[in-house]
Structure 1
């Protein structure tokens, strides 16, 4: 492969899952830098998953699901970042390739010291190349929306009419799906909470339905103007709105970072992969949210929403979330950890 002398590529930055691009860098005889867009804690949890699998402890019986993950407090076996889409063998192969840093010049991580100081310290001891934790990346440069779905910006006008910190924002991400029964339980849990809500129901995310035609009879009439349902929302703009007081999320890393960056406490309903790790950390380490541990049930949902949005416990979480937001902002300002690492990364690239 030959390069155009006038547009010569001097460095390749690639997602760690796109590990095959390392062969391109080798062919071009240029350095490669690995970009990891999930959390450091999830990376360590994936390593623990591989170790347990190699010893024959994975899969584990349901009776052990609440057992602590050895040397990884507060994670339990059920919190391991397993994948619903591939066999464990194929997933393990992907993880092994993604973890291979032998040819990398450095690793860029979308995280920050104030969120993952302990995990970062652990990974820095294990890793043979420099690590640059420069996140949250979405706060470094306000980019145009990268959403693959059309955002319904009309929900912002609806939020403008709501009181401060009054609205629970509900979005379970761009991949996960739910059953008709779970849809009904979520609907009545939200309705019975008596709290205003903005609910993203992605087209095709309800099994057997195109959009909201399977919502239970009487639900729309019951909520009136108190609820707003959209197909997709401009999430960063929503989370930064003064009316949002909580986020019911699947806890993907981007959503988790976006919520923490705006000081918004969370209700966590993870589905697979890293979501389970982040959900546990939201509730047990950062202590800025609640985890829906059991089957989706309207009574539990109603209690969780009211606890987060109305009760004193929720206010304590909101204060902690605001404190985390301030720490994240400090890390991004001149002299902060993410600011320093970003400048060091630029210096490294310029020196290559």
Structure 2
């Protein structure tokens, strides 16, 4: 499964969507997201410089206009659309932390985990001796309403080291100077939000596009680190991002990508131009 897929470098077989499904289920899933008729255009929430080879392939394959108008959260900022209430008190807590010292942990609005995985995450966070902001969605740990899976001693230790909230204003958190790393499921929205703030990532994908995004983050863009959910591995990965030289290198790479992203979505950049081209295309129909 570690082998690179021919013609899909740098993806491995283990990174492919639906790879764990039976063949027919995988085909059915792929058909659900494949258009029945050729599209007249593509609109992508991405940046031209992030995925040049993939975009080149799409343009050659389909021969239709392709508009890269991302990141949408920067092009057209909107209030949060989350169905969960954001705990903005975490920003006040971040204000009290040292620059680039906090690991922000959020695995998205859909992922679920069992008690063992959640406990390993908690122990890794505690043992790293680094401050953390951990989003634990109510009901996201199977069998528990919230953080009752934490044994009393561990709960006390974690309270001393960091902050656990039910939901956070993620874009504001990632833009905060205290955040030095983002432990994420690598959904595309979270990935773009982190990329645009230059925040290095710890990658814990669950499935579908998250596996591909994690591979790009760690292997191509070189601002992410793939992790194994085991307390020692987590502890080491957090320290690699926040303390060690590797983290500084990933952070520098993130800052370079952040600057390129700013150029893209500001006036005259590739995303700004692509959005204007999209408007003209729509008017021409």
Q: Give your verdict on TM over 0.5.
A: yes
Give CA-to-partner distance per residue, 1:12-37, whole Å, 9 cap, x none.
xxxxxxxxxxxxxxxxxxxxxxxxxx
Partner of 2:268: 335
The 2-side partners of 1:103 and 1:72 are apart by: 22
Contact 2:2 2:14 in 1 (8 A): yes
- Which of 247, 264, 281 is the aligned partner of 2:199? 264
Gaps (5+ residues) in structure 2? none
State the partner residue of 2:7: 71
Aligned residues: 285
State the shift of 1:88 in Å. 4.8
Question: Which one scores higher on RCO, CA 8 angstroms, separation ≥ 6?
Answer: 2
Once residues 101 and 212 of structure 2 are traced to their aligned partners in structure 1, the CA distance between those partners, rounded to angstroms, is 28
1:163 aligns with 2:119: no
TM-score normalised by the chain length of structure 2: 0.95
Name 1:320's counterpart in structure 2: 253
1:284-324 alpha-carbon deviations (Å, 9 max, x no partner): 000001101x4x21100000000000000000000000100
Aligned to 1:100: 35
Structure 1: state its 5+ residue gaps: 1-64
Contact 1:83/1:272 (8 A) holds in 2 = no
Aligned partner (choices 276, 280, 284) of residue 347 of structure 1: 280
Q: Residue 73 of structure 2: which of 138, 143, 148 is its match?
A: 138
Alignment of 1:267-278 (within 5 A): 267-278=202-213
2:124 is the counterpart of 1:184: no
More deviation, 239-248/329-338: 329-338
Higher Cα Rg, which structure? 1
What TM-score do you get using the length of structure 1 for normalisation? 0.78
Question: Helix, strand or coil for the counterpart of 2:127?
Answer: helix
Runs of 4 or more consecutive aligned structure 1 residues displaced over 2 Å after TM superposition: 86-105, 223-226
Partner of 1:310: 243
Say if 2:54 is the partner of 1:119. Answer: yes
- Partner of 1:114, secondary structure, is coil
Give 1:101 deviation, angstroms.
6.6
Structure 2 match to 1:80: 16
Q: How much is the aligned-residue C-alpha RMSD, in angstroms? A: 1.6
